[in-house]
Protein backbone atom coordinates (compact mmCIF):
# COMPACT_ATOMS: atom_id res chain seq x y z
CA UNK A 1 0.00 0.00 0.00
CA UNK A 2 1.41 3.38 -0.98
CA UNK A 3 1.90 6.07 1.58
CA UNK A 4 -0.38 9.05 0.98
CA UNK A 5 0.12 12.68 1.85
CA UNK A 6 -2.26 12.31 4.81
CA UNK A 7 -0.27 9.38 6.22
CA UNK A 8 2.95 11.38 6.11
CA UNK A 9 1.26 14.24 7.96
CA UNK A 10 0.09 11.86 10.69
CA UNK A 11 3.55 10.31 10.94
CA UNK A 12 5.14 13.75 11.21
CA UNK A 13 2.70 14.82 13.93
CA UNK A 14 3.19 11.55 15.79
CA UNK A 15 6.98 11.94 15.66
CA UNK A 16 6.71 15.56 16.85
CA UNK A 17 4.52 14.48 19.78
CA UNK A 18 6.97 11.72 20.69
CA UNK A 19 9.87 14.19 20.56
CA UNK A 20 8.05 16.60 22.86
CA UNK A 21 7.40 13.77 25.31
CA UNK A 22 11.07 12.77 25.22
CA UNK A 23 12.13 16.37 25.85
CA UNK A 24 9.69 16.63 28.75
CA UNK A 25 11.18 13.49 30.32
CA UNK A 26 14.69 14.93 29.90
CA UNK A 27 13.61 18.20 31.55
CA UNK A 28 12.07 16.24 34.41
CA UNK A 29 15.27 14.25 34.84
CA UNK A 30 17.33 17.44 35.00
CA UNK A 31 14.81 18.97 37.40
CA UNK A 32 15.35 15.93 39.62
CA UNK A 33 19.06 16.80 39.75
CA UNK A 34 18.26 20.37 40.74
CA UNK A 35 15.91 19.10 43.43
CA UNK A 36 18.64 16.81 44.76
CA UNK A 37 21.03 19.78 44.88
CA UNK A 38 18.40 21.74 46.80
CA UNK A 39 18.04 18.95 49.35
CA UNK A 40 21.83 18.86 49.75
CA UNK A 41 21.91 22.62 50.36
CA UNK A 42 19.14 22.29 52.93
CA UNK A 43 21.02 19.51 54.74
CA UNK A 44 24.19 21.57 54.76
CA UNK A 45 22.23 24.54 56.12
CA UNK A 46 21.01 22.34 59.00
CA UNK A 47 24.62 21.36 59.62
CA UNK A 48 25.64 25.04 59.59
CA UNK A 49 22.93 25.76 62.18
CA UNK A 50 24.40 23.02 64.40
CA UNK A 51 27.88 24.53 64.14
CA UNK A 52 26.45 28.01 64.71
CA UNK A 53 24.62 26.87 67.83
CA UNK A 54 27.85 25.53 69.25
CA UNK A 55 29.61 28.80 68.44
CA UNK A 56 26.85 30.97 69.92
CA UNK A 57 26.18 28.86 72.98
CA UNK A 58 29.76 27.70 73.57
CA UNK A 59 29.87 29.03 77.13
CA UNK A 60 26.31 27.92 77.83
CA UNK A 61 25.83 25.96 81.00
CA UNK A 62 25.13 23.07 81.02
CA UNK A 63 27.19 22.49 77.90
CA UNK A 64 25.47 19.21 77.11
CA UNK A 65 22.24 21.09 76.39
CA UNK A 66 23.77 23.21 73.62
CA UNK A 67 25.47 20.11 72.24
CA UNK A 68 22.20 18.16 72.32
CA UNK A 69 20.37 20.87 70.37
CA UNK A 70 23.23 20.98 67.85
CA UNK A 71 22.99 17.20 67.56
CA UNK A 72 19.31 17.48 66.67
CA UNK A 73 20.24 19.63 63.66
CA UNK A 74 22.97 17.17 62.68
CA UNK A 75 20.46 14.31 62.76
CA UNK A 76 18.10 16.42 60.65
CA UNK A 77 20.91 17.00 58.14
CA UNK A 78 21.62 13.26 57.88
CA UNK A 79 17.92 12.51 57.41
CA UNK A 80 17.70 15.13 54.66
CA UNK A 81 20.72 13.62 52.89
CA UNK A 82 19.19 10.13 53.12
CA UNK A 83 15.79 11.31 51.89
CA UNK A 84 17.39 13.11 48.97
CA UNK A 85 19.26 9.98 47.89
CA UNK A 86 16.12 7.81 48.15
CA UNK A 87 13.89 10.23 46.27
CA UNK A 88 16.47 10.75 43.53
CA UNK A 89 16.84 7.01 42.98
CA UNK A 90 13.07 6.58 42.91
CA UNK A 91 12.61 9.36 40.36
CA UNK A 92 15.45 8.14 38.14
CA UNK A 93 13.95 4.65 38.02
CA UNK A 94 10.68 6.06 36.67
CA UNK A 95 12.18 8.43 34.09
CA UNK A 96 14.15 7.42 31.03
CA UNK A 97 16.79 9.70 29.57
CA UNK A 98 16.67 10.44 25.86
CA UNK A 99 19.12 13.23 25.05
CA UNK A 100 20.07 14.67 28.44
CA UNK A 101 22.95 13.11 30.31
CA UNK A 102 21.96 13.23 33.96
CA UNK A 103 24.15 12.37 36.91
CA UNK A 104 23.88 8.74 37.87
CA UNK A 105 21.94 7.71 40.95
CA UNK A 106 25.07 6.00 42.29
CA UNK A 107 27.04 9.26 42.16
CA UNK A 108 24.27 11.08 44.02
CA UNK A 109 24.12 8.30 46.60
CA UNK A 110 27.88 8.53 47.16
CA UNK A 111 27.60 12.29 47.64
CA UNK A 112 24.77 11.87 50.15
CA UNK A 113 26.71 9.22 52.07
CA UNK A 114 29.86 11.38 52.18
CA UNK A 115 27.93 14.40 53.40
CA UNK A 116 26.23 12.23 56.03
CA UNK A 117 29.58 10.95 57.25
CA UNK A 118 30.86 14.51 57.38
CA UNK A 119 27.83 15.56 59.40
CA UNK A 120 28.31 12.68 61.85
CA UNK A 121 32.00 13.53 62.20
CA UNK A 122 31.05 17.16 62.84
CA UNK A 123 28.70 15.99 65.59
CA UNK A 124 31.45 13.93 67.17
CA UNK A 125 33.81 16.91 67.12
CA UNK A 126 31.17 19.16 68.67
CA UNK A 127 30.72 16.70 71.53
CA UNK A 128 34.48 16.52 72.08
CA UNK A 129 34.88 20.31 72.33
**What is the per-residue pLDDT across 23-58, written as a single tens digit (0 to 9) for each?**
777 787 888 889 999 999 999 999 999 999 877 877
127 burial level (CB within 10 Å; 0-12, 13-18, 19+): middle
Q: What pTM did the predictor assign?
A: 0.77
The answer to which of 48-52, 58-62, 88-92, 109-113 has the lowest mean pLDDT is 58-62
Task: Could you list the beta-strand ranges (E) of 19-129.
Answer: none
Report d(CA 127, CA 120) in Å as an integer.
11
Most confident of 17-26, 58-67, 80-89: 80-89
Give Cβ neighbours of residue 95 (< 8 Å, ≥ 6 apart): 25, 28, 29, 32
Report d(CA 98, CA 26) in Å as an integer.
6
Amino acid sequence: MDETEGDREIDRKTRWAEDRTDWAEDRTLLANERTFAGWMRTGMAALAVAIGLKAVFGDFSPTWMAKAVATIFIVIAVLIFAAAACETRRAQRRISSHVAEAQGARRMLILAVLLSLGAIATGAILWLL
